[in-house]
Structure 1
Amino acid sequence: MVDLAALPDPPGSPVRVQGAKEVSDEGSMMGKTGETAATKKAPPSRVSMVDLAAPPDPLGSPVIVQGAKEVYDEGSMMGKTGETAVTKKAPPSWVSVAQDRKCLKKYDVEISTKEGAMAEQIEQMGGQIENYQKKLEELQDKYTGQVRECSDLTCRLDSTEALKNLNQNSKMLASTNEELKKSQYAMKEKYFIISEQKKSGRENKLSADNRKVVDNYQAELSEQISNMFSMVASCLSQQNAQIYGVNKLSQSRLEAHNKAILEMKKKFLASGDETTSSLFDELHNALTSHQGEMVLFARELRQKFHTTMEQTHEMSEYISSFFQKLMEESKNAENRVAEANDNQLNSIIDFQKTHGPDSFRGGHRHD
């Protein structure tokens, strides 16, 4: 059955007739099994028997009948297998159909041009997204390099006064981390087109790495400070032990000398005139020997005292030089951190100037 809403074809255009069992032409009818073909000059009541699958063709185009066994033209029968063509007279309304087809072709051309322009815009947006992603990766590489440099510089601080500097540096590092987090959050808002999950994962990873670096640095610094305290305490204990040993040895020598003098006095008083000379000689020899021993002992004490003084002087010089180097390194670290912060702020300001909120909004709308 024919769809009555379909338009008739122009004259001379091929008509495809499928699935028809019988076709009638102006009252003449011939039964035929399979698929048959008939001319389009049947009255309107007979056209309902034909299934028109193809849209109407332009004026003057032939009518193609596929799968037809026989063709009829105004009641006359012409047997023809395959595809046959018959002409038909087009009513005046078919001219508008051709015009509509031309308009459709123009519309298709306009749509194709618009699609090409949209494809070019999409490619441009893809290039902009790649450039933004590269810039973001460069900024994150700079951030990681600066964090590593700060951690390398702070690892050299290993003294008692370095705790204060460490606290200051940790506070500065925390402030820089907060500023960096704020800047990264602003960049995240501006570059909403880039996947936020990867970016947030990188930020979390960087913050975790920074925490690990700070914790490791604090542990190493505490170990170094404890080692310094233990070394100074051991040096002081050794020095005190040496001084105590020297005092004890000198006291024992003095006691022995006093005992020897008392014994000599007793012997001298107990002996007579005959033995005075021999006792005097013995006393003189004993005194000379004791004097030599005391001289040697005093020399040893002097040498030990000089060595201890030199050691303490060297230790004090080493500690003072170490503290000076530590202060210089801390100042350099503070200067480098300040420079890094200034550079980061300048780069963020330049980036905000070059890529304002209007570009972000436009990119979001395109997305």
Structure 2
Amino acid sequence: MSGLSLPRPLPLSTVAAGFVTVLVGFTSSVAIIFQAAQAAGASPAQVSSWIAALGFAMGITCIGLSLRYRNPVVTAWSTPGAALLVTSLSGVPMEYAIGAFVFCGALMALSGITGWFERVMNHLPLPVAAAMMAGVLVHFGMNAFVAMKTNFAMVLAMFVAYLVLKRFWPRYCVILVLLLGIALAALQGQLHLNGLQLQIARPVWVTPAFSWQVLIGVGIPLFVVTMASQNVPGVAVMRAAGYNTPVSPLITWTGVTTLVLAPFGCFAVNLAAISAALCMGKDAHEDPSQRYLAAIFAGIFYLLAGLFGATVGALFTAFPKELVMAIAGIALFGTIANSLSTAMRDDNLREPAMITFLVTASGTSLFGIGSAFWGLVAGGLTIAILNGWRRTCV
């Protein structure tokens, strides 16, 4: 059947998965975006424009690519890229910073058009991809219990409610646990909504300027970090969840979107990993072929976030951190379990998968590139050595 066909009735869990995806994405790193914009000397209007441009970019790509491929495609801003900008944009005029964003988007689009990135990712074994996914997500699962240190009553109530609802009403357990957490936070006086005013963001255009020093010092590192720390694990998460979506068009369109919206502050949009996993599990939809609807709802919420700009960032930060930590971990329990099961199922790849998991979970960052990339490198090296040794000994 052609066109978008929404199930009747649409599962509330699907909408909830989209909302939690945006909630986790914003609360985990929106503060870094503010810092990066301020490092470039952005005015309050430009900061709002950055959030708006990123929100629109993520919304358009989530909705468009998920509809195109009928698979859950979730995009995100480059969090390690934003962290890089905090330190590298100091003293760089805004127009040259925008030029670096345009350059980064062009490099991303080129890597998608040429197909080299997809050719590399097609050699990634599924157990290793699943192990990397588990390593990325395991801290979120543990943080659901770490949050009990500072708000034991709320997080314990959410966890117990999850177990009960998972037993009797699994389809709606995550959204109901989220609503319970919000209600408990309100009763505890931890929802900081005073003085919050929603205002529609106004995009601010900055004409890009180019300097080879800034392109080399900012544009290329931003591209490398985004591809290695974001797009590599993003593809691995899709593969581990069982989706063989063509990679090159995804990279191309995220690059083109970055290129087009860069003058408004969109520094880099890429495939999501952690937040994408929220749209790819059973809690998003019982039917894997319908989970792309969760990504579409994530896109809708991203568009709303972009429409209201920086004010929505303040809205998401109004939730207590314990609530966000708990709901993110609870929503990912099933995905973590499935990833570990897939990672360990092949006897020949069990040890490479274990090493991939351990390196990824360690959080080790080298040369500004995150542990997910190095986990895959370690797993690939282990496969090359152990499998080569086995073939020699046979």
Report the TM-score when normalising by structure 1: 0.20
Greater share of strand residues, 1 or 2? 1
When the two structures are superposed, what TM-score results if normalisation uses the length of structure 2? 0.19
Highest CA radius of gyration, 1 or 2? 1
Relative contact order, higher structure (CA 8 A, sep 6+): 2
